[in-house]
Chain A
Amino acid sequence: DAKTTQPPSMDCAEGRAANLPCNHSTISGNEYVYWYRQIHSQGPQYIIHGLKNNETNEMASLIITEDRKSSTLILPHATLRDTAVYYCIVSSKNGAGSYQLTFGKGTKLSVIP
């Protein structure tokens, strides 16, 4: 499985951009990078995903390096409601031949007033 490494915690001032890094140096060519977040005991919320190109949607932007070994999730204007644990996930094929999401410990983002 391609594993990911994220800082355990980060702080961000309200209204500023939050940049959450993720390393996935063992990612293979056909694996996607997914980002989810979990706000205090709620179900994980899908944010964005990408393969090679940078992606943007109404929630965030995803910047993937050219060698695909790392990526950064950008929340352009963080609000208090963005306080959550953010998970960077690389889709991986398991022994049963199917794909699943493997959640690590994620980054706990605290948005500070």
Chain B
Amino acid sequence: NAGVMQNPRHLVRRRGQEARLRCSPMKGHSHVYWYRQLPEEGLKFMVYLQKENIIDESGMPKERFSAEFPKEGPSILRIQQVVRGDSAAYFCASSPLARTSGKTDTQYFGPGTRLTVL
């Protein structure tokens, strides 16, 4: 059973360009989470998606960032007009079940995409 897959593993962009990060969840998982880790910091939640739905985007910056999880294909985290402050590791996690009150279903993380903005 393959784990969570992310690509590319490393991405270099110049300021003002667009970055697209992809995440394929584990087989049988229909829930995807994106987290960002700035250098020397812990992971910060960004967005939680189910197939074709954004459930919680409370951690997403209001501008330039968007996420989708289409019916077919991987989840995409898109960053428009990147700035140097966007340089970070972006991790995707997936879980098999919908979250219910009082419990967070176990999330399994991918290897991350390291974005460098020049």
Contacts and interface: CB of A to CB of B under 8 A. Distances in A.
Q: Chain A: interface residue count, which band? A: 20 to 34
Nearest to B105: A99
Contacts of A49: 106
Contacts of B102: 29-32, 91
Interface in A33-80: 34, 36, 41-46, 49
Contact of B112 (A29, A36, A43): A43
Nearest to B102: A30
Given A87-B42, A91-B104, A100 B109 contact: no
Contact of B43 (A95, A96, A101): A101
Contact of B109 (A30, A43, A91, A94): A43
Interface stretch (B13-21, B53-61, B64-72, B79-87): B53-61
Interface of B: 4, 33, 35, 42-45, 48, 55-59, 89, 91, 93, 99, 101-104, 106-112, 114
Interface of A: 29-32, 34, 36, 41-46, 49, 87, 91, 93-106
13 contacts: A32-B104, A42-B111, A43-B109, A43-B110, A44-B91, A49-B106, A95-B58, A96-B55, A96-B56, A98-B48, A98-B99, A101-B104, A106-B42
Given A41-B89, A43-B110, 14 more contacts: A32-B102, A43-B91, A43-B93, A44-B91, A44-B109, A87-B42, A91-B102, A91-B104, A96-B55, A99-B104, A100-B48, A101-B107, A103-B43, A106-B42
